[in-house]
Amino acid sequence: SNWPRTGDLEIEDLVVEYVPNVPVLHGLSMSIKHGEKIGVVGRTGAGKSTLSLAFLRFIEAAKGRIVLDGVDISKIGLEDLRRNVTIIPQDPVLFNGTIRFNLDPFSEYPDEIVWDALHRAHLVRERGSQTASTAISVFEGNAIDSSLERMSGIFTSLEAEIKENGQNLSLGQRQLVALARALVRRSRLIIMDEATASVDFDTDDRIQRTIRGSEFADSTLFCIAHRLRTIIDYDRVLVLDKGKVAEFDTPANL
């Protein structure tokens, strides 16, 4: 199907509960325009992860609805929904196999698109087919150095091998691969749970540049942020408090 064409999102009186009649989200309502970058903050237990689970219907709304590009997501088949909405957890799961397989497991897209996604996720420097001369560094299994210079050219071949659970990549690099996967699929809605402490500054910077750059102009993005620095440049910040919207405004107005 061609749904969704846009990342326009309406959340209408959304109530979510794990235990009947014990709401964890108490009737959230908000309108989000295609392409907006939303930072989500709030204390532990505020309901941030619950909201992200609701977007993929890992937990169903007890009341209210989430409407993506004009369609109530509860009316969409689960497989279709989860193919189109991307969630990037704190510690993304990668498969044992090539980088190509990790980005396009069903071989649905041409190499060009896979390279383009790697480029846009700042995992390779050059767009298009890579040659020895454009290759910056060789993929060296466990010996990946996460310095900026070497990050620029982690993948010099689409056949580069990813080990079980992405053990040969750092946490931040795994998030970048997951972002690249979202770019291949052209997800119109992406929910990211920002990686915490263990991500080095350069990788974190690269993730944030990827998210905020033109690369994601066509995607609405929610980023559950743990650092204030992260959300400074976002379009709006959603502050959740005990399952309610405490604030929803531009960073400048907060």
Q: Is 146 helix (H, G, I), strand (E, B) or coil?
A: coil
Give the pairing of strands 85-88 and 189-193.
Answer: parallel
Looking from the CA of 85 toward its CB, the CA atoms found within 13 Å total 26
Nearer CB in complex with Mg ion: 49/168: 49
* Distance in Å, CB of 97 to ligand ATP, minimum: 30
Nearer CB in complex with ligand ATP: 28/189: 28
208 binds, among Mg ion, ligand ATP, none (CB under 5 to 8 A by kind): none
Nearer CB in complex with ligand ATP: 50/187: 50
End-to-end CA distance of the chain: 39
58 binds, among Mg ion, ligand ATP, none (CB under 5 to 8 A by kind): none
130 binds, among ligand ATP, Mg ion, none (CB under 5 to 8 A by kind): none
* Distance in Å, CB of 71 to ligand ATP, minimum: 25
Report the interhelical angle of 111-120 vs 171-184 (nearest 10°): 130
185 binds, among ligand ATP, Mg ion, none (CB under 5 to 8 A by kind): none
* Distance in Å, CB of 92 to ligand ATP, minimum: 16
Report which secondary-structure segment, H or E, holds 7: none
Closest residue to Mg ion, based on beta-carbon distance: 49
The tokens describing 180, both together, are: 């690249």
Nearer CB in complex with ligand ATP: 45/70: 45
Q: Is 117 helix (H, G, I), strand (E, B) or coil?
A: helix
Nearer CB in complex with ligand ATP: 18/95: 18
Please state, in angstroms and rounded to a whole number, the distance separating the CA atoms of residues 100 and 114. Answer: 7
* Distance in Å, CB of 148 to Mg ion, minimum: 29
Nearer CB in complex with Mg ion: 49/220: 49
Binding site for ligand ATP (CB under 6 A): 18, 24, 42, 44-50
* Distance in Å, CB of 190 to ligand ATP, minimum: 17
Please state, in angstroms and rounded to a whole number, the distance separating the CA atoms of residues 61 and 40. Answer: 19
142 binds, among Mg ion, ligand ATP, none (CB under 5 to 8 A by kind): none
46 binds, among ligand ATP, Mg ion, none (CB under 5 to 8 A by kind): ligand ATP
Site for Mg ion, residues 16 to 55, rule: CB under 5 A: 48-49
Phi/psi zone of residue 114: left (φ > 0), alpha (ψ -120 to 50 degrees), beta?
A: alpha
Nearer CB in complex with ligand ATP: 211/238: 238
* Positions of E strands within the chain: 9-19, 22-32, 37-41, 63-68, 71-72, 85-88, 97-98, 161-162, 189-193, 220-224, 236-241, 244-249
Radius of gyration over alpha carbons of the chain, in Å?
18
Note the residues at the interface with Mg ion (CB under 5 A): 48-49
